[in-house]
């Protein structure tokens, strides 16, 4: 009997490698199918808890109810994207992230809107967040925030954005005296302070410099402080 030649041995090795590869694929596939079936059928991997993180003003119970998540559903089948969309529809919620935590929990991490001003509405003052969205009635917050006076409060309204940009630039000493932010348009913002004082701010441009100039001007007694041109500020007694 003659020894097999090199070509025959090479063909044998190739066939053996292919067979081993196919066997590995079959084993992994069976494991995946079996693992999936285990996750779908076992009582250990069914939703039993919805945890809410970050909620302060919004009730966690309201968030859980809005999410539409129901105990008993296989955790693998929970639609996280749908839960996020449903919770994000709550007016006071700015964003939400849903995540699975094996074996039986979904976690909802919520970021709530923070009010920076109030705006008038037919039903009473509404809270306005930094994006310009008037998202709910102010309630007990109505007297603790400045009023944003614009023709149309909305995130896409230029006057709204101008007023909020100026508000964001104000130092705490001025913010504490602020009662009304009036934006006639994107280039004409007026601040009304306590004791009837008025600040003509102009547009939101160069706000840091305007804020610094205003801090100096407020040390002088006047009724109107004009920093719309910060290189030539004026006061009117």
Q: Read off the pLDDT of residues 107-119 as tens digits, 9 standing for 90 and up.
A: 999 999 999 999 9
Task: Pick the closest to residue 145 from 171, 114, 186 (CA basis).
Answer: 114
Give the C-alpha separation, 31 to 38, whole Å.
10
The whole-model pTM stands at: 0.75
* Residue 19: pLDDT band with limits 50, 70, 90: very low
- The pLDDT assigned to 21 comes to 54
Q: Tell me which CATH code domain 115-236 carries.
A: 3.40.50.11690
| Per-residue pLDDT, 142 | 73
Q: How confident is the model at residue 144 (pLDDT cuts 50, 70, 90)?
A: confident
Other Cβ atoms within 10 Å of 200 Cβ, number: 17
**Predicted pLDDT at 1:** 43
- Mean pLDDT value of segment 178-191: 95
Rounded mean pLDDT, 127-155:
92
Q: Could you tell me where in the chain the CATH 3.10.20.310 domains are found?
A: 44-112
Range in 17-21, 50-54, 141-145, 181-185 the model is least confident about: 17-21
Give 181's pLDDT tier (boundaries 50, 70, 90). very high
Radius of gyration of the chain (CA): 31
**The pLDDT of residue 45:** 86
At the top level of CATH, the class of 44-112 is alpha beta
Mean pLDDT of the chain: 87
Query: What is the DSSP-derived secondary structure letter of residue 73?
Result: S
Q: What residue ranges of the chain are covered by domains with CATH 3.40.50.11690?
A: 115-236
Query: What sign results for the dihedral spanned by CA atoms 11, 12, 15, 20?
Result: negative
Neighbours of 119 (CB within 10 A): 22
Alpha helices in 42-145 (DSSP H): 60-67, 80-88
pLDDT band at 6 (very low <50, low <70, confident <90, very high): low
Integer Cα distance of 134 and 131 in angstroms: 9
Which of the two residues, 104 and 1, has the higher pLDDT score?
104
pLDDT of residue 105: 95
pLDDT above 70 covers a percentage of the chain that reads 83
pLDDT digits (tens, 9 = 90+) for 24-82: 544 454 454 456 675 676 767 899 999 999 999 999 999 999 999 999 999 999 999 99
pLDDT on residue 178: 95
With bands split at pLDDT 50, 70 and 90, how would you rate the model's confidence at 140?
A: confident
């Amino acid at each position: 009997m003659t020894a097999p030649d090199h070509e025959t041995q090479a063909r044998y090795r190739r066939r053996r490698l292919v067979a081993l590869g196919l066997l590995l694929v079959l084993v992994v596939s069976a494991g995946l199918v079996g693992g999936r079936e285990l996750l779908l059928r076992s009582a250990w991997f069914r939703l039993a808890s919805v945890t809410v993180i970050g909620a302060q003003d919004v009730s966690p119970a309201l968030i859980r109810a809005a999410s539409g998540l129901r105990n008993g559903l296989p955790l693998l089948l929970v639609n996280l994207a749908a839960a996020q969309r449903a919770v994000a529809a709550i007016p006071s919620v700015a964003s939400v992230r849903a995540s699975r935590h094996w074996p039986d929990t979904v976690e909802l991490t919520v970021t709530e809107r923070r009010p920076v001003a109030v705006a008038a509405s037919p039903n009473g003052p509404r809270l306005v967040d930094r994006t310009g969205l008037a998202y709910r009635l102010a309630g007990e917050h109505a007297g603790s925030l400045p009023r944003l006076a614009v023709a149309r409060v909305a995130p896409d309204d230029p006057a709204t954005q101008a007023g909020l940009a100026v508000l964001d630039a104000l130092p705490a000493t001025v913010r504490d005296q602020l009662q009304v932010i009036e934006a006639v348009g994107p280039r004409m913002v007026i601040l009304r302070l306590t004791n009837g004082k008025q600040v003509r701010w102009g547009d939101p441009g160069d706000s840091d410099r305007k804020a610094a100039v205003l801090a100096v001007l407020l040390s002088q007694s006047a009724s109107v402080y004009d920093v719309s041109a910060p290189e030539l500020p004026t006061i009117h007694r």
